[in-house]
Structure 1
């Protein structure tokens, strides 16, 4: 027996779910949008407020209805009220606004995940779009196709879409996009698709939104859409359309300081910064500036400047010839560690560019200077060097340089800047191209990539999807739909080279050998990707991992050595001893377990299956209880659930020691690759100081055929001093290796 009344069975009763179609659980409501498609921002009386008055009432609304009616709910509500009200005075901006302040950008706060919901093929096939008979919808209800759903606090910070019959076409105005927030029946956004990107409808206007003509085949919006209690996005009229989509979003442990989107937010600071792309976005006077001219011969290293003590490198400008950019390497050392050792042309995204890269924080300006305004903090000192890696006998390279330093000490939780480059003359198919692999804690800031075909002019190599695995998870938190989509373009950048503040594709050329080469960049600013113990990013080699490619890449990031989260305890539902030791029990009827074999998403198209045992029950009432332990009573806590995605899994509320602590979001079905992991960061105030954590997981009512399932529950917690560990060297880049493995194979700095 499993706990109280779960028997191990050969099969688990299921109802065919397909793609998770279900009846609506909402009361019907007519969206308040005028006939022209004007944006409706809701009744001001229901908007979030951030003042002290009304905090208790707002905090109460964060508690799900199920918690308010459960036994012991008063204690749960009291605990959450205290957590939310006490956190309302926090001064830190939401994580998607950190890039607006050079002091906030390098900080590595806890309780934030950045993930991607996309139209990628669930079985790893080449067709990464929704279409008639092969939809990528979560479900359909009331004539709407739901394509995104989150149950807790967070924000959608990037929406990308494209449409067309082999080439990009204007988005169909007959398709409407609706956004509902915080469980509201009436959408706060109800627009024809083009209005989200074409600049006609504030706040979705440049430089925060661009259509396919400006973004070369892609339509993208960076207008943040925050929410406190969930977000649902649906399409109307898209059931038969071919449409590619991506939603980059934050999943937060708690809603402290978050105001739900109204459409009236003041985005002037972001617009002003983006309007200064190509010049210093923070032009205030710096206490230390240096300028000069250096001359380098092949093999020589020149130290431009250095600082002792705490501060930040805030301004870096270099001007040299095209050949100089390709042979000179930028070397940056922070706190005694070489963190950057990258060719100039690659670091600044300028290699053989036909359009000057003009990103907000790096690129090439109108005076011909390569520039970086990325804040690069340090605690003990920094040096800036150039190395001439040219062939012996090459002409001396001249470099004009300008540096600007801040003397302000960085926040204690700031990461050190780093960049890692990789060059592959010919990458073999059937394994992903490594982009970045790190241990420790940090966040990924962006990517430049030059991708080339091998012995063909075909640009099909751009069909490969990026997959990003976070903190040792087997399931990719980010799974894209193609190279040009990653860089906010579409259809092989069919509108030509371009450069914008967040992203661009400044280079496209045909080599003398008859091979196609495309280069693109993207800064992850509002969508910087945090990791608490490890990050592994890689790119599929062609549409199904079937093509060789040539590549040069640079990944920019912040990091600190040592993990912020480590595995602390694990419940394995397949093992009787584990169930007993963790006091596992279920209160649901119809519970059963099933042994099966399947795969995770993000692996090769053809991959061996692995065995698993999943226990679950229909989402009709009841839940499961268990106990997990952590080594320390302080620090962040994360609960990782491995589940069976044969059927859709409804959202599930999580209680810790009787206090509501968060919600596992809805999980769509994937009968092709059933193994999945989902992480839930728990609000520290709700968890409390106890080392023993008594969990109760209660699924919310689901549609017929939905089931709550679990294979394992794993607790991640702050490490003890003996578990702090070290960051993996920057050359740990083997594709397909387990998380946290090391192998030489890249160039770059060392931590």
Structure 2
């Protein structure tokens, strides 16, 4: 019994050393905490029960605007909005320490892993969507002097009710000078234009024997300059073509490398499944595929992976990518948000596509299940 206790204690110590706090980045519950807890919420200031905000078309609601030093520990939203694909039309932004360029910018659905613009429940260590339509984030988000979070309605109809609770803590001491800041970047390709549509199966020699050693044409999850560490990605896929969409390898380029230092064996393998996910959804703490569609044009899938056990560090620059089909032969739609921590200042995030271009839509791409003029 003692031997088992020592081994588990050693494992816990390794995890604590690797992540910097506890394995889940939570405070040590055995030690008295000295921070001051706070909550920013949509509670009715009169004490009545109208505990929400309305946000008109084109309007922005500031849901957090506080001074530090501090750390955001948890974010919860739920939204009542009748407009189709409102999760793609509402934009979430976060700013640290007075910056004018956001460190986080994404459609609110995509940020919470709902990149298809529709709700589904799923669970992970850092993000989850519970019943009914509850959006939760547990990424720790430190700020030295100031934090601001906004929600912008880019739709044509009002958000009838925006509910939120944001739990954060402030400290009586400054943050460590080497503190890294939370970042998240939205990307999409509608479609990922493949280099050919002259194929019948993913195993055709034309595509199966094609090589891709430098990631040319890969779908890019995120790029950053500076020093920090990549911690994961959520991604959603709308198939424009038949058969398995995941014939593609993940590739990571660290500190300006021209060839990937880390390369995988297939899309489902990166997301820690296997064999096309077996056609069945699953959702675990660090990885999953909570939506798994049939291997047909028009099908939808959603996947995620978090590198909490081993974030990928970089000192100068970083690029995270994945192929869309072997050597990028497929032309499906990808929508993703990558998550990482880095020292600020950061490079400006790529601008969001116009709202109408963010809405998932089948594309004429040719290939199996797609005539080129439209999907059958």
What's the TM-score once normalised by structure 2's chain length? 0.73
Q: How much has 1:522 moved relative to structure 2?
A: 1.2
In structure 2, how many angstroms separate the alpha carbons of the residues matched to 1:389 and 1:542? 33
Q: Who is 2:322 aligned against?
A: 539
Residue number in structure 1 paired with 2:18: 95
Instruction: Give 1:453 deviation, angstroms.
Output: 2.7
**Unpaired runs of 5+ in structure 1?**
1-40, 51-89, 105-268, 273-282, 562-725, 732-743
1:335 is matched with which residue?
A: 97
Change in CA separation of 1:522 and 1:321 when aligned onto 2, cut-off 3 Å: farther
How far does residue 467 in structure 1 lie from its aligned partner after superposition? 0.4
1:13-43 superposed Cα distances (whole Å, 9 cap, x missing partner): xxxxxxxxxxxxxxxxxxxxxxxxxxxx9xx
2:151 corresponding residue in structure 1? 386
Q: Give the aligned partner of residue 335 of structure 2.
A: 552
Paired residue for 2:61, among 297, 302, 310?
Answer: 302
> Deviation at 1:516?
2.8
Q: Is the contact between residue 186 and residue 352 of structure 2 (CA under 8 Å) also seen in structure 1?
A: no
Q: Shift in Å at residue 474 of structure 1?
A: 2.9
Match of 1:428 in 2: 193
Q: CA deviation at 1:727?
A: 4.0
1:368-412 CA distance string (max 9 Å, x none): 32011111001110011110011x3x2433111001111134322
Structure 1 residue 355 displacement after superposition: 4.7
- 1:287 is paired with a residue of what secondary structure? strand
Instruction: Give 2:347's match in structure 1, choosing from 713, 724, 728.
Output: 728
5 Å-filtered alignment, 1:553-572, equals 553-561=336-344
Query: What is the aligned-residue RMSD (CA, Å)?
Result: 3.4
> In the alignment, is residue 506 of structure 1 matched against residue 290 of structure 2?
yes
Distance 1:406 1:443 in 2: 23
Long gaps (5+) in structure 2: 43-51, 196-216, 355-376
Contact 1:350–1:357 (CA under 8 A) maintained in structure 2: no
For residues 300 and 334 of structure 1, what CA distance do their matches in structure 2 show? Answer: 21
The 1:321/1:289 distance shift into structure 2, 3 A limit, reads same
Deviation, structure 1 residue 514:
3.7
Structure possessing the higher radius of gyration over alpha carbons:
1
How many pairs were matched up? 307
Question: What is the alpha-carbon distance in structure 1 between the residues aligned to residue 17 and residue 130 of structure 2?
Answer: 30
Q: Hey, what's the Cα distance between the residues in 2 that align with 1:447 and 1:290?
A: 27
Partner in structure 2 of residue 526 of structure 1: 309
**Secondary structure, counterpart of 1:476 in structure 2:** coil
Structure 2 residue 240 is matched with structure 1 residue 478 = no
CA contact (8 A) 1:435 1:538 kept: yes
Alignment of 1:66-77 (within 5 A): none
Q: Does 1:345 align with 2:104?
A: no
- Partner secondary structure for residue 320 of structure 1: strand
**Which secondary structure does the structure 1 equivalent of 2:269 belong to?**
helix
For residue 493 of structure 1, give the secondary structure of its aligned residue in structure 2: helix
- CA distances 1:550-596 after superposition (whole Å, capped 9, x unpaired): 110100111114xxxxxxxxxxxxxxxxxxxxxxxxxxxxxxxxxxx
